[in-house]
Chain A
Amino acid sequence: MVDIIFILTPILLGYIFGSIAEKNHYKSIQEREKKFMRLPTISLKTPLNPDNITRSRLVVGNVVISVDYFKRVLAGLKNIFGGNVTSYETLVDRARREAILRLKEDAKGASEIINLKLETSSINKSAKGTIGSIEIFAYGTAIYRK
């Protein structure tokens, strides 16, 4: 009985706090995406409009999000049967969108951001007994006009 409580508690806590954090995060992401919607952010190497450019600058956005126990156990069970690890999809999605938003916040006053690139890495990947987290790093070139 004690064993079961030992296993279930972190999973339950992970589910409760993980879902609350995810819900709040998505709310904040959607609000800020609306705010930055009109700032063109593209992966082209050249600006959409080459006129009137005064300067350009490297802008970066970086985020680390931790996996919760519930998601990890769910993904661990998926290892046995295979298939999409849906529990990690929201995690990666949140991290990617948050990183791009931070990059946009970094590019204050820019008229567009070009050459957007994303890098990803996982922290604690090999450490046994630790719970993993995902890092997404977004970088691009901000273009400023008169």
Chain B
Amino acid sequence: MAYIPKLPDDTVNVTNSNFIEEMLKLVVGVSLLISVAFLVVTLSTSLIVENMSLKTEQKLQALFSSSLEIDTNSSNKEVLYLQSIVDNLNSCAKLPYDITVSISNHKEPNAFAMMGGAIVITKGMLKEIQNENELTFVLGHEMGHFKHRDHLKGLGNGIIFAMISLFVPNSFVENILSLNALSYSQSQESSADIFGIEMMLCRYQDTLGSASLFERMSKNDKWSDFLATHPDFYTRVLEIKKYIKSNNLPATKESRELRYSFE
């Protein structure tokens, strides 16, 4: 048997393909898939959530409140103070379940309305708030998300994000997705703002302080994190002012001082 020396054929075991082209095709395909899934799920969840009865909503909330891990230090005076504001506001908001407030240690100013009737407000946010009116507005705004069932509608998005992170097992991608999953749409934020104004009216018969916090925020660079989940501050300030003006709402009383300075 004779041995015939021959160089290996480069084309047999390696497909001659353009990786960039392949990458672009796949990325377009995946984004199409995701957007279709996104549309279907968000539309169907918002349809279900809007037609849900109060009882079902209560049941859903109870389901999540038991699994919620919040550091509720009930002896903490600051938390008790926030809780008392929320409890008072709930007589105006008339939510069918109790709301629990907790403070998270994050330095980035932000507040969230979460499943299980929990409002989480960051230490960074509390530091920026200058009077009780502003605090009431922020808490009222978050209660607005509960009133409009925004957090339930967000569940649909959560499912999609969970599905994506299944396919893309990348820790930092997951982090980014979970961050964005907490955000609400611009129109949801705007209607929550209006709910916040109504809450202030109900509580203080005055709307002072509803726009002042956001006005400071839109001028401050530190808010970039908040901007990521609460878009277009400037537009929101304008909308709040427009709402107050067009409805001839009072904004004349003096602002109430905070009972605690959150430092």
Which residues of chain A have a CB within 8 Å of any CB of chain B? Answer: 3, 6-7, 15, 26, 30, 33-34, 37-38, 40, 42, 48, 70-71, 73-74, 76-81, 84, 86-87, 89-90, 92-93, 97, 112, 128-129
Partner of B8, one of A40, A86, A97, A128: A97
On whether the beta carbons of A40 and B3 are closer than 8 Å, the reply is yes
On whether the beta carbons of B13 and A34 are closer than 8 Å, the reply is no
By a CB distance below 8 angstroms, the chain A residues around B169 are 76, 128
Residue interface mask B5-33, A partner, CB < 8 A = 1: 11110100111010110110011011001
Cα of A81 to Cα of B25 in the assembled complex, Å: 11
- Whether A6 contacts B172 in the complex (CB less than 8 A), given A48-B1, A89-B13, comes out as yes
On whether the beta carbons of B15 and A89 are closer than 8 Å, the reply is yes
Q: How far is the CB of B227 from chain A (nearest CB, A)?
A: 11
Inter-chain CB contacts under 8 Å: number: 70
On whether the beta carbons of B176 and A6 are closer than 8 Å, the reply is yes
Partner of B22, one of A6, A74, A90: A74
Cα of A74 to Cα of B20 in the assembled complex, Å: 9
Residue interface mask B215-237, A partner, CB < 8 A = 1: 00000000000000000000000
- Whether A86 contacts B5 in the complex (CB less than 8 A), given A77-B23, A80-B33, comes out as no
Q: How far is the CB of A52 from chain B (nearest CB, A)?
A: 16
On whether the beta carbons of B26 and A128 are closer than 8 Å, the reply is no
Cα of A129 to Cα of B29 in the assembled complex, Å: 24
Q: How far is the CB of A77 from chain B (nearest CB, A)?
A: 4
On whether the beta carbons of B176 and A77 are closer than 8 Å, the reply is no
On whether the beta carbons of B167 and A86 are closer than 8 Å, the reply is no
Cα of A87 to Cα of B19 in the assembled complex, Å: 7
Partner of A70, one of B7, B19, B173: B19
Which residues of chain B have a CB within 8 Å of any CB of chain A? Answer: 1, 3, 5-8, 10, 13-15, 17, 19-20, 22-23, 26-27, 29-30, 33, 167-173, 176, 180
Known: A48-B3, A90-B14. 14 other contacts (CB 8 A): A3-B180, A38-B5, A74-B19, A74-B22, A76-B167, A76-B168, A80-B30, A81-B29, A84-B15, A86-B15, A86-B19, A112-B3, A128-B169, A129-B170
Q: How far is the CB of B1 from chain A (nearest CB, A)?
A: 5
By a CB distance below 8 angstroms, the chain A residues around B7 are 30, 33-34, 37
On whether the beta carbons of A79 and B13 are closer than 8 Å, the reply is no
On whether the beta carbons of B13 and A77 are closer than 8 Å, the reply is no
Q: What residue in chain A is nearest B171 (Cβ atoms)?
A: A129
Q: How far is the CB of A64 from chain B (nearest CB, A)?
A: 19
On whether the beta carbons of B3 and A42 are closer than 8 Å, the reply is yes
Q: How far is the CB of A104 from chain B (nearest CB, A)?
A: 12
Nearest 4 interchain pairs by C-beta: A77-B26, A40-B3, A86-B15, A3-B176
Cα of A97 to Cα of B6 in the assembled complex, Å: 14
On whether the beta carbons of A37 and B5 are closer than 8 Å, the reply is yes
Most-contacted residue by chain B among A30, A34, A48, A86 (CB, 10 A): A86
Cα of A30 to Cα of B10 in the assembled complex, Å: 9
Cα of A78 to Cα of B168 in the assembled complex, Å: 11
Q: How far is the CB of B20 from chain A (nearest CB, A)?
A: 8
Q: How far is the CB of A16 from chain B (nearest CB, A)?
A: 12
By a CB distance below 8 angstroms, the chain A residues around B1 are 48
Q: How far is the CB of B174 from chain A (nearest CB, A)?
A: 10
- Whether A77 contacts B8 in the complex (CB less than 8 A), given A86-B22, A87-B19, A129-B171, comes out as no
Q: How far is the CB of A111 from chain B (nearest CB, A)?
A: 10
By a CB distance below 8 angstroms, the chain B residues around A74 are 19, 22-23, 26
On whether the beta carbons of A77 and B30 are closer than 8 Å, the reply is yes
Q: How far is the CB of A130 from chain B (nearest CB, A)?
A: 11
On whether the beta carbons of A93 and B27 are closer than 8 Å, the reply is no
